[in-house]
Each structure stands twice: as structure tokens, then as C-alpha cells.
Chain A
Amino acid sequence: MFTRVLVANRGEIALRIIRACKELGVEAVAVYSKADAGSQYLELADDSVCIGPAPPAESYLNVAHIISAAEVTNVDAIHPGYGFLAEDDTFAEICEESNIVFIGPRSDVMRKMGNKAEARRIAKENRVPVIPGSEGVVGDEDEALGLAHQLGYPVMIKAAAGGGGRGMRIAHNDISLKNMLALARNEAGAAFKDSSVYVEKVVSPARHVEVQILGDSHGNVLHLGERDCSIQRRFQKLIEETPSPGIDSDLRSKITRAAVRIARAVNYTGAGTIEFLVNPEGQFFFIEMNTRLQVEHPVTEEVTGLDLVKEQIRIAAGEELTLQQKRVEFRGCAIECRINAENPADGFRASPGTVRRFNPPGGRGVRIDSHCYSGYEVKPCYDSMIGKLIVHQPTRAEALACLRRALTEFTIEGIHTTIPFYRDLINHGGYASGRFDTHFVEDFLEGA
């Protein structure tokens, strides 16, 4: 097991990783930008290093400063969390070269699955259905047009180096295809330094269902069930739950087996998630694989009783997964709400500022993953998510009742948050029934 691990992230996930390290008896070194200096979660770490000024590019994305911090604090491993450098295969490679263990998959696996067009090809090779679309990246406009006519509009243009709902543009006809193609390439070049794109038919309406995978360095691969993340706004997840209320046990079995096939095919090590779309006919299609821990991992932890961050650390330290697939138990229903510092009444505009009062809910089956506290300063330069509320109860109905109750208790003053929005949303019949798809939030916002 490692002696010391550097946490290359901030906020709630940094806190999450620090907690797991401490429980494993591993020392945690936190890094922080000037803007995050004084954050209370830093005091939980055994050591902390300032790695740059506020802008992420100069701090949390600054590979040189982070590796340097890892060297001066003599850590054995780096946990990248999610976002920032978590799926940066160059960073993973630099860690490997610097003799620091990167807590995640190997850089070559990350690279392979990180290219979304390549990942589609691997899925197809392993008998996993993919969304009808291009064979790899599209060349020129004519190729894209020909493809769009074959598939039928609308089509989605996606950045090959993108993912996480970014770098996606819908085209409804030839004219918008030409425009969107150029736009998508431009955006991809700017955001991901790679302007290559691929094209998929738009599968809509659909549910977003993803499968949690764990793989170790001894060839063992497990799935830990699925999560339904259909409650999204502009491709960003808001509420996630497990089990998915929209799939039956037969489909669950097919999807989880498909996910394991893909993970095995690339010799995946660590925690990873394979995302699918499920259409109303019950057909499922591979979208992409995320080669990192996901924001919504707590719902899987609640129903399986496993600590995914500890498993990541153990796997990276070379330990073998002793858990067997048939021994994995799924108990009850867990739902997570992402609490964002945004004003739902003002187009979800970001609402940074000082949290004057932070009173999280409690009670049986309630979990809060948050780095916030009364007096905490929410910075405008980082992601607006300030915490996650997770509930776990024996049935979905009880989980909803618990969630309703917990949201009523949850008080955050001084900034706007999405809590009032969730209080309304979960009372909507469509959500309560479990019969929703990825359009739900937009429809709800229009109707509301």
C-alpha cells in the first residue's frame, strides 16, 4: 500500500480522496491554488502545497507544478479525481516516467478510450451495439453530408477528443450540418487541441444509462451495476440514481455484460464507467467510456456498500480484487442531486460568493459530499458544483420521500443554489414515476 498520495484536485472530490486515504492509513498531500488557500478541507490533509494562482491552467492543470509538488513531498502516487487531469493521458504518462503511480488506468488505455471514435470501434469489435454513425472520424464536408443522408437527420457531430457532454452539436439539415461541422471543429480545436469529429445519428428520446466497472492488474474485471443519469440539462447531469427505473433485469444483464466485455478487451485497470443510451424500444447503444472516477460514484457506493476511491487506491497499489462478481450485492435505491452554485431562476447563471449559512441535512440514509461550510467562499473561476446530496433507502419510493425531506432541510444562504429547483423537480409526476428520458429537464423547465 502507498505511504503517501498526492490529491491533484480541489473541492469535494479532493476531500473525498483525502478521507479515503486517511481511512486506509495513507498520508494525503493536498494541492491548492491561491484562490483555494484557506479552504478548510486542506487542513484534513497531512500536508498541502500551493501550486499556482487561481486560473486552472496555471494551477490544477499545471502538470509541471503538480509533478514538482509530488516530488518535493515524496509521494508514491497521485490521485487525479475527476475533471482537470483525470483523463489526460500525457499527464498519466509523465507520472509513469517520473516513477509516480497514477491512480487510474494506464496511459495507453486512457489514450485509446479517450479517442471517442476509436472507442466506438472497440465497442463494435466486441459485439457491443453502437449508435449508428461514422466509422471513425469524418474527413470532409461531403463525407459528413453523405453520412447524414444515410443515417437520416437529425445527426450529432461530436469531438473525437471530447466527452463529458462537451464538443457536441446537433444538425437538422444540410445547411445546419455544414455550419455545425465547421463550428464543432473550431470548438474542438480550441478546447481539446484536436479538431477531429465523428458523426452519430441522434437517438432520441433515450435514457442515459451507464455501468460502473472495476478492473485490477491481475486480469479481474467486475461491474458494479448501472446508474441512470437521464436527468440532465445541456448534457450536464443533475440527478443520478441506481438502479435505473427504466430498464428491466434482462436489459440490465445485457448492458452490464457488454460493459465488462469492453473493459476486458482493453485490459482496463482501476475504476471506469461505460455510458450507453437506451431507447424506448429497449435497445442500448454504446456512447463512450470514461476512464476515471465519476462525480456520481456515491450512488453505486451506497447500494453496493463498497468504497470506490479506496478500491481505486488498492488497485493502483497492485492489490487483487478479492470480490467476485456473484458476491456483489445491490441493496435498495440511491439517488444523488448535484448541488450547484447557480441561480435556476436566472437561466442557471453561476452564483459565486460567500456562503453565509450552510446547514446540510442529516438522518438515516442521507449523505453529503461537500467541501462547503458557513463562511466558505465559492469562487467564480471553478466548476459551480459545491456538493452532492445522496440518499439511500430500501425502495425508490422511500428514497424519493427521503430526498424530499432532505432537500427541505438543506439550507444554503448567501448564494443561489439549485436546491429549490430540485425541490420542484422531484415532485413532478414524471420524475416520481421513473418514466423519464434525457428530455425531461428541458420539458420541465419549459412547462414550469
Chain B
Amino acid sequence: MDAVERVRQLIEIMSSNDLAELEVDEPDLRIKLRRNVPIQYSPPPGLAYAALPPQGSVPPQTALQVPGLGGEPGGPVHDNTLLEITSPMVGTFYRSSSPGAEPYVSIGTEVDPETVVCIIEAMKVMNEMKAEVPGTVVEILVEDGEPVEFGQVLFLLEPIAE
């Protein structure tokens, strides 16, 4: 059976069993299928993703390929439908522009790519971090004033439903 036929079968299995997500990891086929989320997802610039391993990754044999969102060092396990905002630098995370000021975002805040979500301070410079993706904030993973490292997940966003 060729790959396309197998994928058709998998899609059939998903709908007849009302599955939101199905993942297959076999020597000749690795695929992750999700319903109601765009399959081809290109990460916008600015979000830091784990570097592809230099050796040994089995190339998927179909065009349906979802880049893994996990794999960050010590990253939290979460529902793969959520979008991550990760830190592009090393520094100290602040939720607001100054002590006592209102936080930029809270749980439930809707953001667009240009929305400033936090500050990361590095070497005395306050860097405003933009969301880079549209969505609704569902989780804030870092405390105000906590140090953050490169690639650390700061916020989880629910993507805007299409």
C-alpha cells in the first residue's frame, strides 16, 4: 500500500472515531494528523524552534508534515494545538513595562502579532517582546522577575479559530 493510500486510511480512522489528533511513528511513515488546525504550519519568524537534529531523523514520506513543537530543553508537556511564545534571548522576564504598571497581557487577552506581551531585560536594556502570532493567552509559564533562557516557553496561546 502506498503512502497516500495509508494516509487516506488514517484520515478515515480519525473521522469515524471522531479523533482530534492521530500520530503514527513507524520506520517508513511518520505523520501527525490534526483536525481543525492548518496542517501546513510555517513558524513565523521570531519564534525560536529547536534546531533539527543533524543525524538520524527519518524524513517523512508524505507532504503532510507537522514540525514538532516539543523538544525544547525541559519544555513543558502541553496540548499540541497551542502556540508557544519562546524567549529569543537570555534575560529577566517582566510582565509589565514598569513595577506597579498593568501587565501587558493576562490569561484571556487576545493578541495579534504586533502586540507586546512582555519585557525581557538583558544587560540593563528592556526589550519589548511581540507575540509574533495571533491568539488568546491561555497560560503564562514564567513569573514576573524570573530569569529566562534562550528557547524557554513564556506563553501558551490558543490559536484564533478560522
Closest 8 CB pairs of A and B: A72-B147, A37-B73, A68-B90, A68-B122, A50-B149, A54-B51, A69-B90, A50-B150
Given A34-B50, A50-B73, A53-B51: A68 in contact with B151 (beta carbons within 8 A): no
Q: Judge whether A381 is part of the interface by a CB distance below 8 angstroms.
A: yes
Q: How far is the CA of A71 from the CA of B124 in the complex (A)?
A: 10
The answer to whether B48 touches A53 (Cβ under 8 A) is: yes
Inter-subunit contact B90/A51 (CB<8 Å): yes
Q: Using a CB–CB distance below 8 Å, which chain A residues touch chain B?
A: 32-35, 37-38, 49-54, 59, 64-69, 71-73, 98, 352-354, 377, 379-381
A69 neighbours in B (Cβ, 8 Å):
90, 149
A67 to B149, CA, bound (A): 12
Q: Is B54's CB under 8 angstroms from A379's CB?
A: yes
Q: Which residues of A contact B53 (CB under 8 A)?
A: 377
**Please, how many residues of chain B have a CB less than 8 angstroms from a CB on the other chain?**
20
Complex-state Cα separation, A35 to B90, whole angstroms: 16
From the candidates B54, B92, B151, name the one contacting A72 in the complex (CB within 8 A): B92
Q: Is B27 an interface residue (CB 8 A)?
A: no
User: Once the chains bind, are A49 and B149 in contact (CB under 8 Å)?
Assistant: yes
- Residues on B lying within 8 angstroms of A by beta carbon are 48, 50-51, 53-56, 73, 89-92, 122-123, 147-152
- Asked if residues B91 and A72 are in contact (CB atoms below 8 Å), the reply is yes
Q: A37-B73, A38-B73, A52-B150 are in contact. Are A65 and B89 (CB under 8 A)?
A: yes
Residues of B within 8 A of A71 (CB): 122-123
Beyond A32-B73, A353-B55, 15 additional contacts (C-beta under 8 Å) are: A34-B50, A34-B73, A34-B150, A37-B73, A50-B150, A51-B149, A53-B151, A64-B89, A64-B123, A65-B89, A65-B122, A72-B91, A72-B147, A72-B148, A73-B147
**Who on chain B is nearest to A32 by CB?**
B73
Bound CA span A50–B50, Å: 11
CA distance A108 to B48 in the complex (A): 37
> Which single residue of chain B is at the shortest CB-CB distance from A35?
B51
Contact of A49 among B48, B50, B90, B123 (CB under 8 A): B90
Collect the chain A residues with CB atoms within 8 Å of residue B50's CB: 34
| Nearest CB of chain B from residue A360's CB, rounded to whole Å | 22
Contacts of B122 in A (CB 8 A): 64-65, 67-68, 71
Asked if A67 and B73 sit within 8 Å, CB to CB, the answer is no
18 A-B pairs within 8 Å (CB atoms) are namely: A32-B73, A33-B51, A34-B150, A35-B54, A37-B73, A38-B73, A50-B73, A50-B90, A50-B152, A53-B48, A53-B151, A68-B91, A68-B123, A71-B122, A71-B123, A352-B55, A353-B56, A380-B54
